[in-house]
Amino acid sequence: MASPPPPPLHQPNTPTNPHHHLLTHLKSPKTPTQLKTLHAHLIKTSLSHNDLFLGQLLLCCNISNAAAYARRVFDSIPTPTHNPNPNPFFYNAMIKCYSQNAHHKEAIHLYSLMRARSVDCDSFTFPVVPAPRGLSGGAA
């Protein structure tokens, strides 16, 4: 008789994930106090070392118009010693946050920093970098 198939290795956003409720909370805008509480919970539960949760926290900061707090989170992202820079996803999320919250100079500066640190751009990087005025096709 054949044995049943093994359970899926990772289902990050399903009710079977013990942290599903937290991922759900990170999908909607929050007040500054709520963001700090969620971030503290990530730290307390050691999820602050999990790329999925950190990325969702950055995206939550974006939809909450909290670019300054997002940058604090971004700057605190732990990096392994063999890779001294956050992965492109974090840069992309932070650049998107700046761009969508009208912090265009900061977005371009972070993109420049990303390139200076030799972090590889990917297909998500360029759509979030704001175009200089006059080059975007709109009125200058």
Tens digit of each residue's pLDDT, the chain (140 residues): 555 554 444 445 455 667 788 888 899 999 999 999 999 999 999 998 888 899 999 999 999 999 999 999 999 886 665 666 667 889 999 999 999 999 999 999 999 998 888 888 888 887 666 665 544 444 43
Rounded CA separation 42/49 (Å): 8
What local confidence, expressed as pLDDT, does residue 8 receive?
47
Q: Does 16 fall in a domain?
A: no
Within a domain: 135: no
pLDDT at residue number 10: 46
Q: Based on the structure, what is the number of domains in the chain?
A: 1
Q: What is the domain extent for residue 105? A: 30-128
Matching residue, tokens 């289902």: 11
Is pTM beyond 0.85 here?
A: no
What DSSP state is assigned to residue 119?
P
Query: Per the domain annotation, does 86 fall within a domain?
Result: yes
Look at residue 2 and tell me if it is in a domain.
no
H/E run at residue 36:
helix 32-44
Q: Could you identify the residue written with the tokens 């939809």?
A: 63
User: Is residue 118 assigned to a domain?
Assistant: yes
23-48 exposure pattern, b = at least 16 Cβ within 10 A, e = fewer: eebbeeebeeeebeebbeebeeeebb
Give a yes or no: residue 18 inside a domain.
Answer: no
Distance CA 81, CA 93 (A): 22
- What pLDDT score was predicted for residue 2? 57
119 in a structural domain: yes
